[in-house]
Amino acid sequence: MTVAAAILMKDPSEAKSRLKPALPNDAREALALLLFDNTLDFLTAEHDGPIAVVTRSASIADRAAAKNACVIAETANGDINTAAMRACEWARDIGAASLLVLHADIATLAADELRSLLATAERAEIVIAQSSDGGTNALLVSPPGAIPFLFGPQSAARHEAAARARGLSVERLLLPHLSRDVDHPSDLAGALSLPDTNGQLKVFAIPGIAEVTAGDDLASMIAAAADAAALPLSPGDIVVVAQKIVSKSEGRMVPLAGITPSREAQRLAAEIGKEVRKVEAILQESTAVIRARRQQPDGLLITRHRQGWICANAGIDESNLGAGGAGMLLLLPQDPDASARAIRAGMEAHFGGPIGVVISDTFGRPWRNGLVNVAIGVAGVPVLVDWTKRTDAYGRRLQATFPAFADEVSAAAGLLMAKDASLPVVVLRGLAWREDAASSASQVLRPTEQELFL
C-alpha cells in the first residue's frame, strides 16, 4: 500500500502568529523554519513513500526540493484546508492508496509513533493523531479524499464525525509526542530543540531521599522529596539518578557468601589476588575479560559488561549499601534504559513533562586518572548530538563532531553526588535539548571493530 505524505507549511514570516506575546518576528520565523526542517528531515529518513510539501513560500519550496520532496504550490489566499485538498489531488494523481497530512509544528517526531499511525491504518480508514488541545496534528486518510478536511480548533472530533457520517472506520490516537505542537507561548517549554538564549544552567540536588530498599518506587520517592524541599520539577528538566539507588530498588544486591566460584574464577583470583567469589560475580556479569593483573589494593579486573560497558569489576559495588549491606555486592540494573523510562513516566505523571532522565555511574577512563560520572541508562534525553551538519563559531563546517550529551549531563551532576553526601538525585535546568524517544545509553558504545586500543 502506497502512503503519500504531505507537509502543509505557511510562509515562515506568517507562521506562529499566536506566539507574538512570547517571541519577536525573527525568532518566530526561525522557529517555524526549525520545526519545518525537523519535520521534513524526519519524513525523509523514516517514510518510504512519496513526500510532498504544500506551500506558497519560495524559501520553503527550495528547502523541500533540496530534500527531493515534491513541491505543490498553495492556492493564493487559500486556508489550511485548501492546502490539504491540494495534497489530496497530488496523492490521487500519483495513485497513492492513502494520504498522510502532517503539520510542520510538532516539537518532537518519533519513528515508533509514525509506525503506530501506519499500523492503525490497516484496520481503520481514517486515523486521527489528535493534538493535546483537541485539534488534528496528523490525519491519515484511505483513500485520499475519503472525508473533507476540517482542520482548525477541535478538529479531531469533527474529522471523526465526518468519517462516521460516511460509514468509514475511524480511530483517534493521542500519541505522546505527536500530540504536542507549538502554537501557544505555553507550548514553547516543550520545544526543546531551541537554543538556550540565557546561556545559564542551574544544577541542584534533591535532598531528603530516604534509604532505598528493594521494591521501592523511585519516581514516587523522588517526587515526594522534591515537593518536600519546594523544588518541583519543570518541563525541560533533566533528572540524573545515581545507579546505586536504582539497583537497590530493583533488588540487585546479592550475598557474597552465596556465590560458588567456578574454576575460571579460581584461576583468575589466584593470578590477580582478588577475592574469588567477587571474581565469580564479575565473570557472571561480563561477556569478556579485557585486562587482569595483580596490583593494590585487591587486583585489577577490567571486563566487558553484558550491557557493553568496559569497566572495572563489571560495575559491581560494595560501598554505601546501607543497613544490611555488609557482605553484599550491588550489581548494575538489568536494563538501565527501562529503569530510566519507568522513572521518567512517574516524574511526568506527577509534574508534567517533558522531563528527561539519566541513570549515571562512575567509571574510570583510558589514559586518564580518576572517576567521572557517565550515563548507563537514559529516557528521552539524546545520548549523542550530531553537529556534522552545523558550523563552528567562525562558520567552518564541522566534519566529525558528536558531543556525548548524556555523559556531559552525568558528569555535571556528579559534582554534587559526592560519595559521602547522600544526594543520589540531581536536576539540571536550563539546557537546550531535543527530546529523543528512541534514545538508549548503548548508543555511546563504540563498535568493537573501531576499538583500536584493545
Structural domain includes residue 196: no
Helix (H) or strand (E) holding 420: none
Burial of 4 (0-12, 13-18, 19+ CB in 10 A): buried
Which stretch of 22-26, 245-249, 402-406, 438-442 has the lowest confidence by average pLDDT?
Answer: 22-26
Whether 326 and 336 share a structural domain = no
Distance between CA atoms of 448 and 369, rounded to whole angstroms?
A: 23
pLDDT of residue 363: 93
Whether 296 and 421 share a structural domain = no
Whether 268 and 400 share a structural domain = no
CATH number of domain containing 144: 3.90.550.10
Whether the per-residue pLDDT at 321 is higher than 90: the answer is no
Q: Which of 8-12, 28-32, 143-147, 182-186 has the highest mean pLDDT?
A: 143-147
Whether the per-residue pLDDT at 55 is higher than 80: the answer is yes
Confidence grade of residue 35 (pLDDT, cut at 50, 70, 90): confident
Which domain range does residue 297 map to?
Answer: 254-330
Q: Strand locations in 30-69, DSSP E?
A: 51-55
Structural domain includes residue 197: no
Which stretch of 50-59, 173-182, 186-195, 355-364 has the lowest confidence by average pLDDT?
Answer: 186-195
Structural domain includes residue 49: yes
For residue 454, give the 3-state DSSP assignment.
coil
pLDDT of residue 436: 82
Whether 108 and 8 share a structural domain = yes
> Which of 315, 330, 345 is the last residue before a domain boundary?
330
Distance between CA atoms of 248 and 339, rounded to whole angstroms?
A: 12
Q: What is the mean pLDDT of residues 270-296?
A: 94
Structural domain includes residue 382: yes
Whether 267 and 387 share a structural domain = no
Query: Which of 357, 353, 362 is CA-nearest to residue 319?
Result: 362
Structural domain includes residue 194: no
> What's the domain count of the chain?
3
**What tens digit of pLDDT does each residue of 81-127 get?**
999 999 999 999 999 999 999 998 887 888 888 998 999 999 999 99
Query: Which residues share a beta bridge with 141?
Result: 99, 126
Structural domain includes residue 27: yes
Whether 147 and 219 share a structural domain = no
Q: What is the mean pLDDT of residues 257-281?
A: 95
Distance between CA atoms of 450 and 204, rounded to whole angstroms?
A: 37
> Which of 161, 188, 215 is the last residue before a domain boundary?
188
Whether 101 and 181 share a structural domain = yes
Confidence grade of residue 419 (pLDDT, cut at 50, 70, 90): confident
Burial of 97 (0-12, 13-18, 19+ CB in 10 A): middle
Whether the per-residue pLDDT at 21 is higher than 80: the answer is no
Q: What is the mean pLDDT of residues 411-424?
A: 87
Structural domain includes residue 130: yes
Whether 396 and 414 share a structural domain = yes
Whether 227 and 293 share a structural domain = no
What residues contact residue 296 under an 8 Å CB cut-off, 6+ apart? Answer: none
Task: Show the cell assigned to 38.
Answer: 525537523
pLDDT of residue 176: 81
Greater pLDDT, 94 or 446? 94
What residues contact residue 163 under an 8 Å CB cut-off, 6+ apart? Answer: 125, 126, 146, 147, 169, 170
Whether 319 and 380 share a structural domain = no
Distance between CA atoms of 138 and 53, rounded to whole angstroms?
A: 14
The CA distances from residue 312 to 38, 252, 271, 447, in Å, are 40, 18, 16, 19
Structural domain includes residue 168: yes
Which stretch of 77-81, 195-199, 214-218, 378-382 has the lowest confidence by average pLDDT?
Answer: 195-199
Confidence grade of residue 336 (pLDDT, cut at 50, 70, 90): very high
Which stretch of 387-396, 411-420, 434-443 has the lowest confidence by average pLDDT?
Answer: 387-396
Whether the per-residue pLDDT at 195 is higher than 50: the answer is no
> Which of 296, 330, 364 is the last residue before a domain boundary?
330
pLDDT of residue 184: 60
Whether 239 and 285 share a structural domain = no
What residues contact residue 150 under an 8 Å CB cut-off, 6+ apart? Answer: 81, 136, 158, 159, 162
pLDDT of residue 193: 41
Whether 339 and 244 share a structural domain = yes
CATH number of domain containing 270: 3.90.1660.10
Distance between CA atoms of 192 and 155, rounded to whole angstroms?
A: 26
pLDDT of residue 294: 94
Whether the per-residue pLDDT at 29 is higher than 50: the answer is yes
pTM above 0.75, yes or no: no
Estimate to the nearest angstrom the gap between the alpha carbon of 376 and the chain centroid.
14
Residue 362 in contact with residue 372, Cβ under 8 Å? yes
Whether the per-residue pLDDT at 201 is higher than 80: the answer is yes
